[in-house]
Amino acid sequence: MKISTRAQRIEPFYVMEVAKAAQALAREVADTREPMVFLNIGEPDFTAPPLVQEAAQRAIQSGATQYTPSLGLEPLRERISGWYAQRFGVDVPARRIVVTAGASAALQLACLALIDAGDEILMPDPSYPCNRHFVSAAEGKAVLIPTTAAERFQLSADKVRAAWNAQTRGVLLASPSNPTGTSIAPDELRRIHAVVQERGGVTIVDEIYLGLGYDDAFAQTALAIDENIISINSFSKYFNMTGWRLGWMVVPDALVPVVERLAQNLFICASTVSQHAALACFEQGSIAEYERRRAEFKARRDYFIPQLQALGLDVPVQPDGAFYAWADCTHAAHKLGVQGSWDFAYELMRRAHIAITPGRDFGMADTQRFVRFSTASSMAQLQEAVARLRALLG
């Protein structure tokens, strides 16, 4: 069978290979004193809170399961708009909000709406691998720009200006970022957007981890800067609904009918049950629970990162959001007699039964030095991991 060149261009998601190996080993060591600790997974260990589960059950029982409008249930778009007003003090009218099947569908819609064959999109290296593949699936080319710890592993206006050429169509950032958990400073984003606008390009900001921001200096939506910025968001992370496949995007007015046309044809609509359930995310009781969980994620970060540092796994920039730690494993790998983050991750899996993610998926620049630890697991699991790391590296 002849496979399209488009499909062949999509690289494997190495995270999944590591996860597969970890699952296989987990079965072998399940009954030992050291069952597998999974710190490779980028999804909250919490599930949707009770009000959300009840709303889903009500939707199913009352038969509210037909297609919704392609842009999403009107009351849900209103509630998301209300969330921007309450949480960020930003006026985002519901008419510019498009409900999607996760941030993943929103990113695909944005790429299909804006990218022509051969267009180039600038992105930081390291960054979430699927984002460059969405660009590639739309026949565009993701151009990864190496970043430094001093830049919080984000793009800078100077680098965007220097990299811009006749094919460049725009930038795609994630703030806070996966794998680093670091956000772009709002002033830098403002400068980047000015460079992009002067050149007639588009700024897309993946804000899927925005709700899990721990520092007011960074936890601001890009939509406060300009309504021409396209913001991608999701119910997966802050709202703990990964498998419900629900997200949204905010687009300028002119793009709404374009995205609507694409969404009608490609997806019809996002899951109806999930949309009804998500209405309950914005109830006071749910928000209180989400805020409690956000504090728990912060407590995990505050516990885990100093422990990594003490063990020589340097985290050069303190994450200000999300649930990741991007750690330099050079010294730790040396201690274990291996080189590079890929071998280090496998050695850690083999010797301490701890699954983490090697840097390789996230880019090319310095990723053989870095590994990603996810702190989306319970405090007890993090403490167990620290004890094993200490035994191995301390």
Ligand X SMILES: Cc1ncc(COP(=O)(O)O)c(C=O)c1O
Contact range with ligand X by CB under 6 A, out of 78-86, 98-106, 142-150, 307-315: 98-106
Question: Cα(382)–Cα(307) distance, rounded to whole angstroms?
Answer: 10
Contact range with ligand X by CB under 6 A, out of 102-110, 188-196, 350-358, 364-372: 102-110
Contact range with ligand X by CB under 6 A, out of 31-39, 101-109, 144-152, 306-314: 101-109
Tell the residue number behind the tokens 């590079």, with chain if given: 340
φ, ψ of residue 374 to 5 degrees: the values are -100, 135
Q: Tokens for 163?
A: 């990299």
Shortest CB 206 distance to ligand X, Å: 5
| Alpha helices, DSSP H, located in 34-185 | 50-61, 74-83, 102-114, 129-137, 157-163
Tell the residue number behind the tokens 């969330």, with chain if given: 83
Q: Would you say 42 or 321 has its CB closer to ligand X? A: 42
Rule CB under 6 A: choose which of 38, 83, 84, 128 binds ligand X: 128
Q: Is residue 45 classed exposed, middle or buried when 0-12, 13-18 and 19+ CB atoms within 10 A define those classes? A: middle
- Give the footprint of ligand X on residues 237-256 (CB under 6 A): 242, 247
The letter for the amino acid at 90 is V
**What are the residues facing 250 on neighbouring strands?**
97, 231
Q: Would you say 119 or 206 has its CB closer to ligand X? A: 206
- Among 40, 348, 340, smallest CA distance to 179 is for 40
User: Residue 206 interacts with ligand X (CB under 6 A)?
Assistant: yes
- Give the footprint of ligand X on residues 271-310 (CB under 6 A): none
User: Residue 182 interacts with ligand X (CB under 6 A)?
Assistant: no
Contact range with ligand X by CB under 6 A, out of 11-19, 96-104, 340-348, 355-363: 96-104
C-alpha distances out from residue 178 to 69, 127, 175, 217, 334, Å: 31, 6, 8, 19, 26
Rule CB under 6 A: choose which of 70, 156, 178, 374 binds ligand X: 178
Rule CB under 6 A: choose which of 22, 37, 39, 103 binds ligand X: 103
- Among 59, 97, 45, smallest CA distance to 260 is for 97
Tell the residue number behind the tokens 């850690």, with chain if given: 348
Shortest CB 108 distance to ligand X, Å: 10
Question: Cα(266)–Cα(213) distance, rounded to whole angstroms?
Answer: 32
Interface characters, 36-65, with ligand X (x: CB under 6 A) = ------x-----------------------
Q: Would you say 102 or 312 has its CB closer to ligand X? A: 102
Q: Would you say 127 or 368 has its CB closer to ligand X? A: 127
Residues of this chain that bind ligand X (CB under 6 A): 42, 102-104, 128, 174, 178, 206, 208, 234, 236, 242, 247
